[in-house]
Amino acid sequence: MTALLKAKASRPVTFSSWQKDWNAWTEKYIAPGLREKQFDLVVETLGEDVFSFPLVTEAFSEDMIRFAEKQEKWTTDRHKFYPTTDVTLKELGLDALYSKILAEFAHPVARWVWGLEDPSWISDIREENFMARYRAQDQQHLSVHHDYAEYTFTVGLNTDFEGGGTYFPHQEILGNPRGGYATLFPSITHPHGGRPTTKGTRYIIVSFCSRKAPYAK
């Protein structure tokens, strides 16, 4: 093995190294099965048009939580009607990374489960990506609401809390993502809310996903 190959092999894969070696980065931070696009093995149906699948590893979740808390950029007034304690991934400098994760591993699941064949579902997707925090000592819950999107991903980052979960009253489904798991659902037909987190802190990443106006000139 040459000195250059040895140096590359010994270089640690870190949270910020995704642009240097994407394959090594995904090996550490993207869940097995989904990484190989084995959708029929890893995508579960929780209920009517509500799906769950492993997206990121425990290492990703731990590094993401640590990074966000260190930045201390949480806000409570970004959303006018249903505010959450959150921070955008753009504000954290992670939007390009997370959009790449969604483009390669999450949006293909949405196209697969719903048979979305129009090319605009690949080339014209826009997202609002943010990390939300629910804590027993301040914001415990979020009232039932619709997301302003066509479909939504919520990704649970941790499990060391009590209570919580995303509840869909019309479908009578409680989605409480396991650490690293994503929940996918259509935004208009599935109003939902966050059940109270009664102990500890619950961290999730939320992505509102819509096509850009396909007929705009």
pLDDT at 102: 98
Q: Over 70: is that where the pLDDT of 177 sits?
A: no
Q: Over 70: is that where the pLDDT of 70 sits?
A: yes
Return the ∠ at Cα 155 (arms to 61 and 104), rounded to 5°: 90
Can you tell me the distance from the alpha carbon of 52 to that of 71, in angstroms, rounded to the nearest whole number?
Answer: 29
- Across the chain, how many H-helices and E-strands are there? 7, 12
- 101-156 pLDDT tens trace: 999 999 999 999 999 999 999 999 999 999 999 998 888 888 889 999 999 999 99
45 phi and psi, to 5 degrees?
-95, 115
Q: What is the CATH number of domain 42-211?
A: 2.60.120.620
Residue 9: pLDDT band (50, 70, 90) is: very low
pLDDT at 21: 94
Segment 165-173 mean pLDDT: 92
- 86-97 pLDDT tens trace: 999 999 999 999
Q: Over 60: is that where the pLDDT of 11 sits?
A: no
Can you tell me the distance from the alpha carbon of 146 to that of 193, in angstroms, rounded to the nearest whole number?
Answer: 9
124 phi and psi, to 5 degrees?
-120, 25
Q: Helix %, strand %, coil % for the chain, to 5?
A: 25, 30, 40
Residue found by looking up tokens 């995508």 in the block: 43
Per-position DSSP letters for 119-170, written without gaps between them = THHHHSEEEEEEEEEEETTS---EEEE--SSSEEEEEE----EEE--EEETT
Are 206 and 129 spatial neighbours (Cβ–Cβ below 8 Å)? yes
- 18-67 pLDDT tens trace: 999 999 999 999 999 999 999 999 999 999 999 999 999 999 999 999 99
Residue 214: pLDDT band (50, 70, 90) is: low
Secondary structure (3-state) at 50: strand
Q: Over 70: is that where the pLDDT of 199 sits?
A: yes
Secondary structure (3-state) at 42: helix
Q: Over 80: is that where the pLDDT of 79 sits?
A: no
Segment 170-197 mean pLDDT: 90
